[in-house]
Amino acid sequence: MGLSDDWRRLVAALTGRPDTAEEARLAALFQNRSELKKELNALDEERHRLLDRLKLQEGSTLRVEEQLANLEQYLGRPGEGQKCLAYFQLRAVWRAASRRLEQFATELARQQKDRERKQQLADFERSKRNRLDDVDREVYEARILGDQLGAEQATDRARLAEMRGFWNYFRRRELERVTAGRESRLEGARTALTDLGDRRHAIEAETPPTFAGVSLEGRRAVNLAVIGCAEALCERLAPANLAWQARQATLTRVYDADFGGEAQCAALIQATSRALADLEAMQDDLTDIKRRVDRLKVKAAWRGAGDTIPLQESVGPADPVGRGSINVLLDEYFDIQKLLLD
């Protein structure tokens, strides 16, 4: 381009004339170049992010491979097999008890939700029926009033038709005044009937309210029952102190576990095998859980009026030195904290 081309573009800009086709094409090219540059920068950032994730995944994979290698080396030592079997069976007991508690908590929360929703619907239908009954009563009364006024109006109009002659002038005027007032009342009765019909239709068209969720008292009741169920599970695993040992197995590595000699490990393996079979076949003792919940209701304290999880120290064991010496909420037995309703 020469000086004349620049001069023509300046004149066009000053005079407000449209750009030429060549200038429009160049503008489009510059715009496309800018958009492509933005997309390239975004792709570059995504690439770096994926590379970072890949590095993290490679590090995790390397750690897992190292753990597997160490475990293989550890299991290759004579005399460690029984200890490892006892360790992993204890962890299996923990998972089985956690699964039982989760099933109980899930089913109880569902039942509580269904119960409160049914109660909400029943209250709604009862309120709706009562309001419809009130409207029907008003409709009945309005119809009786309308029929009465209509009958009186018909009688007086017939009397008016019979009144002839000037000597009935004043009587006729008085009766006309009465009929005019009654007509106004009769029109009001008709309007009231129409309004009552609209009200009845509006009430019939009402839909049940949306369920806002389990109530505060309902969530507290569910949580106390879950705590009671966890206590019952601990008591079920009290022989051989399996509940405590299972928890310790979740807190330590297999390398650091110590269950005594081969005889102690063999006895522990037998106890965990029986416990796993018992947990698989057991049925929840609802009577026992209710008894525990009744005790917890008396003891439970809450940090605030809107809290649903009781203070840990308020739901401590009933017998601190006996079989019920475990505070399932404080020590988070069977992952109970994840199951409680907020």
308-315 contact pairs (CB < 8 A, 24+)? 308/216, 308/219, 308/220, 308/223, 308/340, 308/341, 308/342, 309/223, 309/340, 309/342, 310/220, 310/223, 310/224, 310/227, 315/224, 315/227
The three-point CA angle 269-272-273 to 5° equals 85
Q: Report the candidate in 214, 229, 210, 224 with the shortest Cα–Cα distance to residue 112.
A: 214
pLDDT of residue 3: 47
> Which one is predicted more confidently, 237 or 21?
237
Q: Are 163 and 172 in contact (CB under 8 A)?
A: yes
Mean pLDDT value across residues 130-136:
94
Structure confidence at residue 204 as a pLDDT band (50, 70, 90):
very high
Percent of the chain with pLDDT over 90: 42
Q: Is the pLDDT of residue 319 over 70?
A: no
76-80 contact pairs (CB < 8 A, 24+)? 79/262
> Which one is predicted more confidently, 309 or 63?
309
pLDDT of residue 200: 92
Q: Could you tell me which residues come within 8 angstroms of residue 213 by beta carbon, excluding any fewer than 6 positions away? A: 113
d(CA 88, CA 214): 38
- On the CB side of 106, CA atoms within 13 Å amount to 6
H or E stretch covering 79: none
pLDDT of residue 271: 93
d(CA 234, CA 244): 8
Q: Are 296 and 314 in contact (CB under 8 A)?
A: no
- On the CB side of 302, CA atoms within 13 Å amount to 16
Structure confidence at residue 162 as a pLDDT band (50, 70, 90):
confident
- On the CB side of 1, CA atoms within 13 Å amount to 9
Give the three-state DSSP class for 1: coil
User: pLDDT tens-digit profile of 10-24?
Assistant: 555 555 555 566 666
Q: Is the pLDDT of residue 31 over 90?
A: no
Taking every pair of C-alpha atoms in the chain, what is the biggest distance, in angstroms?
A: 135
pLDDT of residue 64: 78
CA 72 to chain centre: 45
pLDDT of residue 316: 79
Q: Exposed, middle or buried: residue 224 (CB in 10 Å: 0-12, 13-18, 19+)?
A: buried
Q: Exposed, middle or buried: residue 94 (CB in 10 Å: 0-12, 13-18, 19+)?
A: buried
Number of neighbouring beta carbons within 10 Å of residue 87? 25
Number of neighbouring beta carbons within 10 Å of residue 291? 13
Mean pLDDT value across residues 306-334:
80
Q: Report the candidate in 277, 228, 231, 211 with the shortest Cα–Cα distance to residue 108.
A: 228
> Which one is predicted more confidently, 161 or 215?
215
pLDDT of residue 9: 57
Q: Is the pLDDT of residue 128 over 90?
A: yes
Number of neighbouring beta carbons within 10 Å of residue 307? 15
Q: Are 327 and 227 in contact (CB under 8 A)?
A: no
Structure confidence at residue 147 as a pLDDT band (50, 70, 90):
confident
d(CA 96, CA 277): 10
Q: Could you tell me which residues come within 8 angstroms of residue 189 by beta carbon, excluding any fewer than 6 positions away? A: 142, 145, 146, 149
Question: Which of 20-24, 148-152, 164-168, 200-204 holds the top average pLDDT?
Answer: 200-204
Q: Report the candidate in 319, 315, 320, 321 with the shortest Cα–Cα distance to residue 229.
A: 315
What average pLDDT does the structure give for the chain? 84
User: pLDDT tens-digit profile of 252-299?
Assistant: 888 788 888 888 888 999 999 999 999 988 888 889 999 999 999 999
User: pLDDT tens-digit profile of 35-82?
Assistant: 888 888 888 888 888 888 888 888 888 887 776 666 665 555 556 778
In the chain, which ranges are continuous DSSP H helix? 3-15, 21-75, 81-162, 169-204, 216-236, 242-251, 262-281, 286-299
User: pLDDT tens-digit profile of 75-121?
Assistant: 555 567 788 888 999 999 999 999 999 999 999 999 999 999 999 99
